[in-house]
């Protein structure tokens, strides 16, 4: 990957995340990336192709975030590590996650399969710990974390830190 191609992806990610895909002109992406507009279309088939490339990178980064949970063998720790997920988002990755959540409303890019492995692992953990309804407990945790992640992305980590210990103690059997 050339430097300029990477510049384009970074600029597009930043602009798509803050202003939305449709609201951002390719001319603006080129300007922010310090690149000619034509170069965008040399590297990507079209504007949507650029978005697709960004979202493809996403899959890898997301699976890397989930890995430690999937390899954990202690059910209690599975739950704790999951609960701590949204609080460990790196600031420099905020744009990336903002885009993920914004695109959840576009059916084409909303892919619940991404969460499936974590959901399954959580369900297993709740079952191990003797919870009455592991599938719903697991789904509920995902729901809570989604809302907290969104709040962090919008209002900053500080505003939501209070939930970290609150949740962990709530799920400490």
Residue 72 near which of DNA, a copy of itself, none (CB within 5-8 Å, type-dependent)? none
Length of the chain: 173
Among a copy of itself, DNA, none, the one that 90 touches (CB under a kind-dependent 5 to 8 A) is none
Based on CB atoms, which residue is closest to DNA, 12 or 78? 12
Burial of 17 (0-12, 13-18, 19+ CB in 10 A): buried
Interaction between residue 46 and DNA (CB under 7 A): yes
N-terminal to C-terminal alpha carbon distance within the chain: 49
Nearest-approach distance from CB 160 to a copy of itself, in angstroms: 9
Where does residue 114 rank: exposed (0-12), middle (13-18), buried (19+ CB within 10 A)? middle
Q: Which residues does 102 contact at the CB level (< 8 Å), separation at least 6?
A: 16, 17, 20
Residue 167 Cβ vs DNA, minimum distance, rounded to whole Å: 40
Q: Which of DNA, a copy of itself, none binds 130 (CB below 5-8 Å, type-dependent)?
A: none
Binding mask 151-170 for DNA (x = CB under 7 A): --------------------
């Amino acid at each position: 990957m050339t430097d300029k191609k990477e510049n384009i992806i970074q600029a597009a990610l930043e602009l798509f995340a803050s202003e939305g895909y449709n609201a951002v002109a390719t001319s603006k992406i080129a300007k922010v990336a310090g690149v000619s507009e034509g170069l965008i279309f040399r590297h990507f088939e079209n504007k949507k192709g650029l978005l697709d490339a960004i979202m493809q990178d996403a899959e890898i980064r997301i699976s890397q975030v989930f890995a430690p949970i999937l390899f954990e063998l202690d059910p209690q720790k599975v739950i704790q590590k999951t609960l701590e997920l949204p609080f460990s988002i790196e600031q420099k990755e905020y744009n990336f996650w903002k885009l993920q959540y914004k695109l959840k409303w576009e059916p084409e890019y909303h892919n619940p399969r991404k969460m499936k492995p974590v959901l399954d692992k959580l369900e297993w953990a709740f079952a191990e710990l003797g919870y009455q309804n592991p599938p719903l407990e697991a789904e509920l945790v995902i729901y809570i974390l989604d809302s907290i992640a969104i709040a962090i992305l919008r209002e900053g980590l500080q505003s939501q830190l209070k939930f970290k210990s609150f949740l962990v103690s709530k799920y400490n059997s």
